[in-house]
């Protein structure tokens, strides 16, 4: 198994990076779309439009990308033997936090589509910063490998 993973390492890495970019783009877009939905009244044309867009974002980009990122990331970790490296454990923690963020935002988006407003626009703007901060930390961990 290790030989097969070593031969495909660069393909796994390329796929992991590509789908990570897709996933991050979706994580940046979802809070912004929620901000646009926020002032729309329930049942309005604007509400229906943003609900459709958020549903498509979730089904076409966010969830498939999340799954591919996890699968390819775990295969990469096996290929390079990252399990005993400190930087990898820290990276894994931030990927778990991004996954939790994904789930929280999707659940809140569904509530907003149903007419609830579980967060203010200001809270959505603040929460929308988390993926960028986590991404910066993950990139430093992977590239610099500080520990």
Overall size of the chain counted in residues: 147
Rounded Cα gap, residues 74 and 53, in angstroms? 30
Residue 135 pLDDT > 70, yes or no? yes
As annotated, the binding site for heme includes: 16, 91
Q: How confident is the model at residue 3 (pLDDT cuts 50, 70, 90)?
A: confident
Q: Is the pLDDT of residue 4 over 90?
A: no
Range of the domain at 16: 2-144
**Binding site listing:** 16, 91
How many CB atoms are closer than 10 A to CB 81?
Answer: 10
* Tens of pLDDT, residues 85-116: 999 999 999 999 999 999 999 999 999 999 99
pTM reported for the whole predicted model:
0.92
Domain count, the chain: 1
Flag whether pLDDT at 2 surpasses 80.
no
As a whole number of Å, the CA-based R_g of the chain is 17
Give the C-alpha separation, 50 to 63, whole Å: 18
- Alpha helices by DSSP H, listed for 57-129, are 63-80, 86-113, 121-127
């Amino acid at each position: 198994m290790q030989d097969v993973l070593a031969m495909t390492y660069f393909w796994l890495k390329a796929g992991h990076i590509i789908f990570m970019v897709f996933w991050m783009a979706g994580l940046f877009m979802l809070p912004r779309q929620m901000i646009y939905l926020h002032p729309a009244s329930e049942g309005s044309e604007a509400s229906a439009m943003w609900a459709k867009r958020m549903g498509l974002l979730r089904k076409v980009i966010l969830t498939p990308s999340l799954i591919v990122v996890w699968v390819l990331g775990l295969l990469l970790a096996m290929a390079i033997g990252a399990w005993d490296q400190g930087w990898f454990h820290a990276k894994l923690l931030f990927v778990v936090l991004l996954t939790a963020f994904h789930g929280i935002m999707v659940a809140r988006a569904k509530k907003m589509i149903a007419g609830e407003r579980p967060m203010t626009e200001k809270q959505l703007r603040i929460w929308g910063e988390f993926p960028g901060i986590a991404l910066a930390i993950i990139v430093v961990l992977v590239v610099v490998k500080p520990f």
